[in-house]
Amino acid sequence: MLNAHLVNKSYQRGGMFSKERKQVLTDVSFEVRRGECLGIIGESGSGKSTLGRLLIGIERTDSGTITIDGLDIAQKKQRIGKISAVFQDYKSSINPFFTVEQAILEPLELQKKSVNEKAKKVDGLLKEVGLPHTYKHKYPHELSGGEIQRVCIARAISTEPDCILFDEAISSLDVSIQLQILKLLRRLKETHRMSYVFITHDIQAAAYICDRILIFRQGKVEELVETEDLKAVQSTYSKQLLRALVTF
């Protein structure tokens, strides 16, 4: 469904005229199956978030391909409505001058729906993420962190995408709220039959929600395992990383 094949990415290092580049991703290949949640874990600076930006088309690969249903994700027309994202910094994810309703409707601007259809859509989405329909008139500063993230999730599913990328989407929330959001995500995935890419440093969260887990090391795929086989990882690095994350 979502496929990355031999993806490479580097950035210029040094001044404007420097020819030196830092390699961030090297020959990264994997597939996200339809309806599954693929977790991506690794140390800070391992390239996880760079990969996330490539997966949703914010940046382009130096070489290699990323496709969704066989279509090149670098082409905006081909990815619209197929993949969306929820990020860690929920405070900057929504325009502070938008009401909740406006924020949710933003991705739907190109859809020709009547005012009544859009209103019903917003009410339905708020209900799905556990928020009262009266919240559509509120502004971000009137909401808690968990409530804002629920709005971000409602917005992400509004276009009924095939896949959603979650980049450290629960790490800024209180622990009690994290579990609520994880339960919500599991339910929504089953309801809408979507695929997830779940980037995180939280191994417990990954084990709770993910079907498979990809372990990332210095911009490369170190190991890819079924979540139920996580304790049986093979490489020394994977074992050390999992011990460190559990301790953390």
Q: What is the CATH number of the domain that holds 181?
A: 3.40.50.300
Total tally of structural domains belonging to the chain: 2
Whether residue 74 is found in the same domain as residue 126: no
The residue among 140, 160, 180 that closes a domain is: 160
Do residues 83 and 73 make contact, with C-beta atoms less than 8 angstroms apart? Answer: yes
Whether residue 24 is found in the same domain as residue 75: yes
Whether residue 77 is found in the same domain as residue 173: yes
Q: How far is residue 22's CA from residue 234's CA, in Å, rounded to a whole number?
A: 28
Whether residue 47 is found in the same domain as residue 95: no
10-residue mean pLDDT profile of the chain (248 residues): values are 96 79 96 97 91 94 95 86 89 89 87 82 95 95 93 94 94 90 95 95 92 96 95 91 74
Do residues 55 and 228 make contact, with C-beta atoms less than 8 angstroms apart? Answer: no
What does the pLDDT read at residue 81?
84
Whether residue 170 is found in the same domain as residue 77: yes
Whether residue 4 is found in the same domain as residue 72: yes
Do residues 108 and 159 make contact, with C-beta atoms less than 8 angstroms apart? Answer: yes
The residue with tokens 């079924």 is 226
Q: How far is residue 198's CA from residue 91's CA, in Å, rounded to a whole number?
A: 19
Integer angstrom CA distances of residue 152 from 55, 78, 83: 18, 22, 14
Contacts of 130 by beta carbon, 8 Å cutoff, 6+ apart: 150, 184
DSSP code at position 103: H
Whether residue 188 is found in the same domain as residue 212: yes
The residue among 160, 188, 215 that closes a domain is: 160
Whether residue 8 is found in the same domain as residue 122: no
Whether residue 143 is found in the same domain as residue 237: no
Q: How far is residue 230's CA from residue 199's CA, in Å, rounded to a whole number?
A: 16
pTM (predicted TM-score): 0.92
Q: Considering Cα of 208, then 214, then 215, then 219, what sign does the dihedral take?
A: negative
What does the pLDDT read at residue 76?
84
Contacts of 228 by beta carbon, 8 Å cutoff, 6+ apart: none
Whether residue 181 is found in the same domain as residue 116: no
Strand bridging mode 195-199 / 163-167: parallel
Order of strands across the sheet that contains 220-226:
83-87, 163-167, 195-199, 37-42, 212-217, 220-226
Contacts of 14 by beta carbon, 8 Å cutoff, 6+ apart: 20
Domain extent at residue 104: 91-160
Do residues 6 and 27 make contact, with C-beta atoms less than 8 angstroms apart? Answer: yes
Whether residue 72 is found in the same domain as residue 176: yes
What does the pLDDT read at residue 110?
65
What does the pLDDT read at residue 247?
61
The residue among 101, 135, 160 that closes a domain is: 160
Task: Tokens for 47, please give them.
Answer: 């390239």
Other beta carbons within 10 angstroms of residue 151's beta carbon come to 27
Whether residue 140 is found in the same domain as residue 236: no
Q: How far is residue 46's CA from residue 129's CA, in Å, rounded to a whole number?
A: 32
